[in-house]
Structure 1
């Protein structure tokens, strides 16, 4: 049936586009915010190491820019995790330069 075939083609194109957008958002985080999976960030004067980045939390501004993503991270001291429990830091983190 033509409609079913067209539906399947459109689903495949949508899935491919969503994967491309995901990849581009990862690149955006890396190059605009300096953020990667194991980056160190500062939140409330405490250093954390990123464990996950929620790309779906990124919103687009009227100017076309993407917001900072919500991240989860573990607290670290002396470059070692204090514990392995990740906490949600929201968007109010800063990249740690130290």
Structure 2
């Protein structure tokens, strides 16, 4: 079974999103965090389930219409590269 790894940039992305939402609605922020963590925890079981990413070598998991998890996979691990709001500029990962 593959390992699940999070890049520091992805953790920072997630925390920034959660902090921003929690200013207005802490319960919604926690619910989104829980949803992202639950869905990404299942990635090692079926990493190719989600669409091919806009950047070569990546895939994209849509979490609700506005949040996207960008990840890559290899023979050993699924690595979460970024967690973005859909309106954000698409960075190079």
The TM-score range, normalised by the shorter chain, is 0.3 to 0.5
Higher-Rg member (1/2) = 1
Compare the two structures and name the one with the higher helix fraction.
2
TM-score, normalisation: structure 1: 0.31
Point out which structure has higher relative CO (alpha carbons under 8 A, 6+ apart).
2
TM-score, normalisation: structure 2: 0.32
